[in-house]
Chain A
């Protein structure tokens, strides 16, 4: 019995504690506001107030001119202007209305804004309102401009014609226009980064396509069955490589693409190419940048078989290392002068080789940060070992559907 009493008492304590936390959170901002009681002269405080109101309107406008952002910006803009009502329009529809009188003035907005949208100049006009109790007698229309001309208009309503309101509305509209231009700048910067990432996405080389088709062609007469299998691998591999959407894939899918690539390379090089795999099942679900391993394997095959009559062995290993997966691609080929390799990774491509390596390196650094670039161990005649480390989890890195 006393157990129930105790449980009830502790539950009540829990409720009280939680209620206290909630109360504290709710009351905290009020205490904060009381702090700015005597700060500066009235003029200075008016300036602070204006700047603060403007700063409230800025964040939504920095996301561009849409219904959602206009709605959130309209209220601070109206208090900035101190008018009866304020409306933001994009030329075709009313995006947001703040203040009274939306019901019967809504329909008149396109007519009021039409002149401004066409000329890009502010104008003041009577609203011609039929309701004698309505304060919205005059409207000032000011243009909102972006890089591509007039985007919309700001309409401020007042009880009488006023040069001050015209001036104020024009200035506010100009300020809004600057914010909208910044928004466009943000968007184009994002687009540029995206375009760069897309350009960095590995491309299969045309040589690979010619060589594969030539190798398949050589089997068409002698071994039609094998030629058919190889064509199917080729189809699968190209479909995977040419996919458009998603920047990340699972390691299991990447390995599958590598398998197809090696099957095609094997058709060309025959017994000279040997492959060893050591894959830990724990790391197969790891998400990693799309097609970032295939260039490493391609590089290993190319280096391994360069200037050599005897064959080469390519070793691909993926192992579990706590919160990371470590993938190594190793060949016992000609290797590379470390100085030359450094130049390749810096982006200078003597002889055009190694684009794959620097591309993968750059993408890994972009996605996971500078400490996750490729680690390459090599020397002339000593083969090459490329190590890449992939965190098992990174915010925003999710594999997308591949096939």
Chain B
């Protein structure tokens, strides 16, 4: 791949982001434009901003990679990422806006009138934010590694630096415009190459992705296996090996492997002739399920459980993501917040058609990525693989730019939320200075963990953040909005038990402490048990402490549920018309 184009595209995206962020409002306006200047962000602009911030590395790269490796089952990810907004729309959007809360901690305080619950909620905001930042930085590292061959921590460091500097310097002044721009940039960056790729695929005789059999290589392919893998063969395979296979060292030797399981050492280079079936990469105790099974999480078996875990986490987790909640504040009133969510559903739904397409194309043209363990790169290498030449380079650069837009927008949104909460509730006193101090802290922790921790597919890692959010903030928001008997002790116990257990399980999984088999599945997909646990604890403890129901509950709930017409102002310009 031509580095020059890609580096130019990434630089352009970074510069555009910083410039729009800093200069977006420097347009002078005169008195006659007062009306224009004081107009609130409409649902469409705001929805594009929410979508721009939401579509992260997981969406841009991760889903295509997972579809490539594990098949259509992984489409549960985009379905879940989108459907989360449906739940948000129906249950949370308008009341959350009407509560006047800016962050989720604010909501906890407004509803429960308790500083302690607020502080607890802040800890979870920070935890979820870091869990979500981690895969963004890792994804950036992977992208830069593929583009330029730099070590995998460079990309993460670059994104962390850019984000920290712009956020700490107050550069994200017109964040709504920046994020809306990022949405359209990401959509274009995926859509335009998709047209060329589909045209090329059609010109190639429209080969079909093979869903049940192992993918077949179309040309002579050289694969470098990064980590030691266990592969399974159904038929004898002849290939050229440089490195270690089954504890035997080879130097560019032609080897024929018998059917069965083989260990390929890390750093081994395999040269596969065209027409070979790509060996299946497989973990211990895997279920030999085909590519077309409609179930997720194939690593341990137990796909049905894992699929439900994924569905619960993504459907209920969206509402508790710190960077999503703060964007709703920009809506002028509850009705606009609801309309915004509806537009977000449309925008995100449209976007998610594309990663699936890239995944399927990747299965046809770059199946060996499944073996190397860097399937997240599928989107980036496809133009080079299918089209090649200058056109491939330009389109590849376009995708690289889009991917960096994804890292930057999500990471900056998350960093702002996490740093805001750190400065307000965790660090000792409230001041602008503390926000500047909190920003490097907000990015440094996930950056450090990202360098140290094991690599997990980007979409999987994001799923963990969703699981924690679904078990902590979903009960808090849903019960807080719809149940008048919720008490501060109940909310605190639910957050600690539901969210805390999910967080602990997720951390243990990421640290590699979970034992294989069922315990691993339970801990890697905690939502199935932790969401009911969170709800149940909140309800039971609240019922046991009826005297702690906050005094202002009736007034708060009235404000959450009545249209602003009865409780608060209609924006001036709307009232005039």
Q: Which residues of A contact B (CB under 8 A)?
A: 2-3, 6-7, 10-11, 13-15, 17-19, 21-22, 25-26, 249-250, 252-253, 255-256, 259, 262-263, 266, 274-282, 284-285, 287, 317, 319-324, 371, 389, 392-393, 395, 397-403
Contact = CB atoms under 8 A, between A and B. Distances in A.
Contact of A282 (B330, B543, B559): B330
19 contacts: A2-B302, A2-B518, A3-B304, A10-B522, A18-B536, A256-B38, A259-B34, A262-B31, A277-B37, A278-B29, A280-B174, A280-B176, A281-B41, A282-B175, A282-B176, A284-B41, A371-B431, A399-B568, A403-B570
Contacts of B305: 3, 6-7
Interface string B270-282: 0000000000000
B182 interface: no
A403 B572 CA distance: 8
B497 A17 contact: yes
A17 B541 contact: no
Contacts of B170: 319, 321
Interface string B490-519: 000100010000000000000000000010
A375 B572 CA distance: 28
A385 B174 CA distance: 22
Contacts of B568: 250, 398-401
A252 B331 CA distance: 12
B569 A277 contact: no
A362 B536 CA distance: 47
A287 B243 CA distance: 66
B404 interface: no
A396 to B, nearest CB: 9
A371 B430 contact: yes
A251 to B, nearest CB: 8
A287 B102 CA distance: 11
Contact of A320 (B30, B31, B173, B570): B173
B330 A274 contact: no
B344 to A, nearest CB: 17
A96 to B, nearest CB: 20
Given A323-B102, A323-B420, A398-B568, A11 B529 contact: yes
Nearest to B493: A21
B40 A252 contact: yes
B432 interface: yes
Given A7-B305, A25-B541, 4 more contacts: A282-B176, A323-B103, A399-B100, A401-B570
B569 A400 contact: yes
B541 A393 contact: no
Interface string B390-418: 00000000000000000000000000100
Contacts of B333: 285
A266 B31 contact: yes
B536 A14 contact: yes
| Max chain B C-beta neighbours (<10 A), residue from A14, A259, A262, A397 | A14
Interface in B326-359: 329-333
B544 A22 contact: yes
Contact of A285 (B173, B329, B565): B329
A252 B173 contact: no
Given A259-B38, A282-B176, A25 B544 contact: yes
Given A277-B37, A285-B331, A320 B569 contact: no
Contacts of A2: 302, 518
Contacts of A15: 536
A7 B522 CA distance: 9
B106 A319 contact: no
A218 to B, nearest CB: 19
B178 to A, nearest CB: 11
Given A276-B30, A279-B37, A322 B419 contact: yes
A225 B329 CA distance: 40
A18 B109 contact: no
A388 to B, nearest CB: 13
Contacts of A18: 497, 533, 536-537, 540-541
A287 B532 CA distance: 36
Interface size class of B (residues with CB under 8 A): 35 or more
Contacts of B172: 320
Interface in B414-442: 416, 419-420, 423-424, 430-432, 435
Contacts of A402: 569, 572
A322 B435 contact: yes
Contact of A321 (B174, B432, B497): B432
A281 B40 contact: yes
| Max chain A C-beta neighbours (<10 A), residue from B331, B489, B571 | B571
Contacts of A277: 29-31, 33-34, 37-38
A281 B175 contact: no
B101 interface: yes
A266 B25 CA distance: 24
A274 B529 contact: no
B223 interface: no
Contact of A14 (B173, B529, B564): B529
A363 to B, nearest CB: 19
A259 B35 CA distance: 9
Contacts of B416: 322
A398 B559 contact: yes
B368 interface: no
Contacts of A397: 100
Contacts of B11: none
B560 to A, nearest CB: 11
B173 A395 contact: no
Contacts of B175: 282, 320
Nearest to A400: B568
Nearest to A323: B420
Contacts of A3: 302, 304-305
Nearest to B102: A392
B567 interface: yes
Interface in B522-545: 522, 528-529, 532-533, 536-537, 540-541, 543-545
A14 B569 contact: no
Contacts of B109: 395
Contacts of B27: 278
B173 A319 contact: yes
Contacts of A21: 493, 497, 537, 540-541, 544
| Max chain B C-beta neighbours (<10 A), residue from A7, A262, A274, A320 | A320
A282 B329 contact: yes
Contacts of A14: 529, 532-533, 536-537
B31 A319 contact: no
Given A274-B30, A393-B110, A403-B572, A282 B541 contact: no
B338 to A, nearest CB: 15
A285 B37 contact: no
A277 B39 CA distance: 12
